[in-house]
């Protein structure tokens, strides 16, 4: 593979993959915490809406949702999403639904005595969530969130089907140009591994830090 192919296709593809991962992860995190906390709300109606969202987006294909946002939505609303943002929306909404269950499970795992202590201190529901529940639940969310983030990174390869120039699409173009599948796809595997390794190391450090604030040591 020549330096020109690497510079003009592969490196920009890696950068687009990183951007897709960051933007989609930010949207997924917002959805996960919003819907996950709603799943524990006192109102049955709020819990129903949050549960309905979770079931719908967990039960649909991210790829089909991406196509729907890009091809079906524009005629309905009168404006066209660029492929990049259609991909971010599809990935963020889909993986956010999985993250919502992580948030819900971690919040439910906080001992009941902690909730009762917050009530005894006359804290409002939001204060109990912010000051009591989330500080204890977030450290337990990080390992499953790490797995979900790595899956999201790998899921960004779907955007190549919309012609977004991520690293997978760049690998396809290089293969067409060079007729050498082994080299470019081996490089692509290494790229995904390095990015995933960086995510896992970063999340592990974050887990240590959050648990250290609670006086818990992570090996």
Q: What pLDDT, on a 0 to 100 scale, did the predictor assign at position 128? A: 87
Which H or E element spans position 83? helix 83-109
Q: What pLDDT, on a 0 to 100 scale, did the predictor assign at position 63? A: 92
CB-CB contact of 107 with 130 (8 Å): no
**Cα distance between residue 144 and residue 152, in whole Å:** 12
**Cα distance between residue 81 and residue 189, in whole Å:** 30
| pLDDT > 90? residue 163 | no
Two tokens at 169? 């699409």
Q: What pLDDT, on a 0 to 100 scale, did the predictor assign at position 216? A: 61
Spell out the residues 6+ positions from residue 65 whose beta carbon is closer than 8 angstroms to its own: 57, 90, 93, 94
Give the pLDDT mean for 153-182. Answer: 89
**Cα distance between residue 54 and residue 165, in whole Å:** 30
Q: What pLDDT, on a 0 to 100 scale, did the predictor assign at position 39? A: 93
Higher pLDDT: 3 or 192? It is: 192
Two tokens at 107? 């919040």
Q: Which of 140, 139, 167, 153 is nearest to 199 (CA)?
A: 153
Q: Which of 167, 21, 15 is nearest to 91 (CA)?
A: 21
Give the pLDDT mean for 160-178. Answer: 88
Q: Is this prediction's pTM over 0.85?
A: yes
CB-CB contact of 134 with 72 (8 Å): no
C-alpha distance from residue 194 to each of 14, 97, 189, 201, 202 (Å):
11, 26, 9, 11, 12
Residues 101-117: tens digit of each pLDDT: 999 999 999 888 888 88
Q: Confidence band (pLDDT; 50, 70, 90) for 142?
A: very high
**Cα distance between residue 72 and residue 34, in whole Å:** 27
Can you give the three-state secondary structure of 118-152, one letter per residue?
HHHCCCCHHHHHHHHHHHHHHHHHHHHHHHHHHHH
| pLDDT > 90? residue 36 | yes
CB-CB contact of 117 with 127 (8 Å): no
Two tokens at 72? 């079906």
| pLDDT > 70? residue 52 | yes
Q: Confidence band (pLDDT; 50, 70, 90) for 8?
A: confident
Two tokens at 90? 């599809």
Residue with tokens 């729907």: 68
């Amino acid at each position: 593979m020549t330096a020109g192919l690497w510079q003009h296709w592969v490196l920009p593809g890696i950068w687009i993959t990183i951007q897709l991962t960051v933007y989609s992860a930010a949207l997924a995190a917002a959805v996960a915490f919003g819907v996950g906390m709603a799943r524990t709300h006192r109102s049955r109606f709020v819990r129903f809406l949050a549960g309905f969202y979770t079931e719908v987006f967990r039960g649909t294909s991210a790829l089909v949702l991406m196509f729907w946002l890009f091809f079906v939505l524009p005629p309905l609303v009168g404006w066209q999403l660029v492929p990049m943002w259609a991909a971010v929306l599809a990935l963020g909404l889909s993986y956010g639904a999985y993250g919502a269950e992580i948030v819900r499970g971690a919040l439910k795992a906080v001992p009941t005595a902690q909730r009762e202590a917050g009530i005894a201190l006359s804290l409002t529901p939001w204060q109990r969530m912010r000051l009591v529940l989330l500080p204890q639940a977030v450290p337990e969310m990080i390992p499953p969130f790490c797995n979900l983030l790595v899956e999201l990174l790998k899921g960004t390869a779907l955007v190549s089907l919309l012609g977004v120039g991520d690293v997978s699409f760049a690998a396809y173009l290089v293969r067409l140009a060079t007729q050498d599948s082994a080299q470019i796809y081996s490089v692509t595997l290494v790229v995904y591994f390095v990015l995933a390794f960086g995510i896992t190391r970063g999340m592990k450090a974050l887990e240590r830090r959050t648990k250290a604030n609670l006086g818990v040591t992570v090996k």
